[in-house]
Amino acid sequence: MEKIDILFNKYDAEVLKIGAEATIYKIFWKGIPLIVKKRRIKNYRHPKIDYEIRLSRTLHEAKLLLYSKKLGVKCPAVLFIDRINTALIMQFINGNRLRELIPYLSNEEISRISFLIGEYVAKLHKGNIVHGDLTTSNMIIDNNKDVVFIDYGLGAFTNEIEEKAVDIHLFMRTLESSHYNFLKNILENFFKGYEKILGKDFTQEILKKVEEIRLRGRYISLRKKKI
């Protein structure tokens, strides 16, 4: 495959998202839609160190995507790694973000999707991977009505239950802030799917850890108010 700078020169690149670390583009290569995630240069860092950081994070994310697929979790396929420009060229997923879809889905469909999300998160955790940014904005419902996880930029390999609980805690906070009316249905079915893969004992253990994290957050908030 051609280098990304050549691709940009030959084809129109549509900017889909500008994040803190990277810019996401949609391009077409020989008529095929692709996603490019290009990590941007940070001028406040030494050029050599900056490049090494960007390359390390790019390779790390590619590895997380590869291993997620091996675990049976739907995510974009990495087609090419541009080491020079610290960019990933990935499969474009046809579909819509779950965040925008939820208000238009039936309760039955929300239950089905939530169960599936629970299964996929459990598969990641069982394989010692945390996504790092489990929000409904990072989940696409594709044309087959399956859930595809995107944006592993904050993901990690870990066997720590605390980090797995943080993954779930973030997901719960997203639901509370953006999908409160559907919270009960989503969480109930999410944990059913999670338990199907990891069993009742582990699910109860991680729920206990999630509650500990939530209590710590409340304590810190109260302390700040008093100060």
Whether residues 105 and 213 fall in one domain: yes
Out of 91, 118, 140, pick the residue that ends a domain.
Answer: 91
How far, in Å, CA of 30 to CA of 7, rounded? 10
pLDDT reading at 224 higher than 50: no
* In contact, 143 and 95? CB cutoff 8 Å: yes
Choosing from 133, 142, 146, 151, the catalytic residue is 133
The yes-or-no answer on residue 133 being catalytic is yes
Q: Of 200, 188, 174, 165, which is closest to residue 118 (Cα–Cα)?
A: 188
Whether residues 112 and 60 fall in one domain: no
Where in the sequence is the domain holding 199, given as residue range(s)?
Answer: 95-226
Whether residues 77 and 140 fall in one domain: no
Whether residues 53 and 146 fall in one domain: no
Whether residues 173 and 77 fall in one domain: no
Q: Centre a 10 Å sphere on the Cβ of residue 41 and count the other Cβ atoms it contains.
A: 12
Using 50, 70 and 90 to split pLDDT, how confident is the model at 174? very high
Q: How many domains does the chain have?
A: 2
Tracing tokens 């100060």 back to the chain, one arrives at 227
Q: SS3 breakdown of the chain: % helix, strand, coil, rounded to 5?
A: 55, 20, 25
How far, in Å, CA of 95 to CA of 144, rounded? 9
Range in 162-171, 187-196, 203-212, 215-224 the model is least confident about:
215-224
Query: Which ranges of 79-182 does DSSP label H, i.e. alpha helix?
Result: 98-101, 107-126, 161-178
Out of 91, 108, 130, pick the residue that ends a domain.
Answer: 91
| Mean pLDDT computed over every residue of the chain | 91
Q: Are strands 32-39 and 22-29 parallel, antiparallel or unpaired?
A: antiparallel
pLDDT at 11: 58
Using 50, 70 and 90 to split pLDDT, how confident is the model at 107? very high
Residues 35-79 have pLDDT tens digits of 999 999 999 999 999 999 999 999 999 999 999 999 999 999 999
Q: Of 110, 98, 124, which is closest to residue 188 (Cα–Cα)?
A: 110
The model's pTM: 0.90
- In the chain, the percentage of residues whose pLDDT exceeds 90 is 84
Q: For residue 200, what is the domain's CATH number?
A: 1.10.510.10
